[in-house]
Amino acid sequence: MTETFFVDVWSDVVCPFCYLGTRQLTNALDEFEFRDDLVLRHRAFELDPDSPRDSGQTLDERLAQKYAMPIERARSLNEKLESDAAALGMTWSMKQARPTNTFDAHRLIAHASTQDLGDAMSERLFRAYFSEGQLLGDTDTLSALAMDAGVADADTLWQGDNFAADVRADENQANELGITGVPTMLFDDKFMVVGAQGSEQILDVLTRAWARR
Structural domain total, the chain: 1
Name residues whose C-beta falls within 8 Å of residue 170's C-beta, 6 or more positions apart in sequence: 10, 43, 44, 45, 106
Give one DSSP letter per residue of 9-45, joined into a string. EEE-TT-HHHHHHHHHHHHHHHH-TTGGGEEEEEEE-
Residues 78-122 have pLDDT tens digits of 999 999 999 999 999 999 999 999 999 999 999 999 999 999 999
Q: Is the pTM higher than 0.95?
A: yes
- Tell me the CATH number at 17: 3.40.30.10
Q: Percentages helix, strand, coil for the chain, rounded to the nearest 5?
A: 50, 10, 40
One-letter identity of residue 143: S
User: Do 62 and 94 form a contact (C-beta atoms < 8 A)?
Assistant: no
**pLDDT tens-digit readout, 58-77:** 999 999 999 999 999 999 99
Distance CA 180, CA 184 (A): 9
Q: Give the domain extent around 105.
A: 5-212
Handedness of CA 33, 35, 36, 39 (dihedral sign): positive
